Amino acid sequence: MIETLDAGKALAREMDLLADVAADPTRHHLWFWQSPQCLVVPRKLSLHPDFDAASRELEDAGWPVFARATGGDVTPQGPGVVNVTHVYASPKGREYGLEDAYDALCTPIEAALGPSATRGWQPGAFCDGAHNVQFKDKKFAGTALRFRPCKEDRSRRAVLAHALMLFDPPEQTTIDALNILLERLDQGRVIDLAAHTGLPADVSPAAFLTRLTAAFDVVPP
What lies within 8 Å, CB to CB, of 109 at 6+ separation is: 84, 117, 133, 140, 141, 163, 165, 212, 215
As a whole number, the mean pLDDT across the chain is 95
Which domains, from first to last, does the chain contain? Answer: 2-218 (3.30.930.10)
Q: Which DSSP helix (H) or strand (E) runs through 184? A: helix 172-184
CB 119 within 8 A of CB 131: yes
Rounded to an integer, the average pLDDT of 51-79 is 93
Rounded to an integer, the average pLDDT of 147-171 is 95
The band of 216, judged by pLDDT with boundaries at 50, 70 and 90, is very high
Question: Mind listing the pLDDT tens digit for each residue in 180-195?
Answer: 999 999 999 999 999 9
Rounded to an integer, the average pLDDT of 102-116 is 97
- Which has more pLDDT, 209 or 68? 209
Rounded to an integer, the average pLDDT of 42-46 is 91
CB 132 within 8 A of CB 165: no
CB 164 within 8 A of CB 141: yes
Residue 212 has pLDDT above 80, yes or no: yes
Considering the chain, what percentage of its residues have pLDDT values greater than 70?
Answer: 98
Direct distance between the N- and C-terminal alpha carbons of the chain, in angstroms, rounded to an integer: 22
What local confidence, expressed as pLDDT, does residue 219 receive? Answer: 58
What local confidence, expressed as pLDDT, does residue 94 receive? Answer: 87
Rounded to an integer, the average pLDDT of 115-133 is 96
- What is the value of pTM for the model shown? 0.94
- Which has more pLDDT, 12 or 217? 12
Backbone dihedral angles phi then psi of residue 38, each to the nearest 5 degrees: -170, 175
Residue 220 has pLDDT above 90, yes or no: no
What local confidence, expressed as pLDDT, does residue 15 receive? Answer: 96
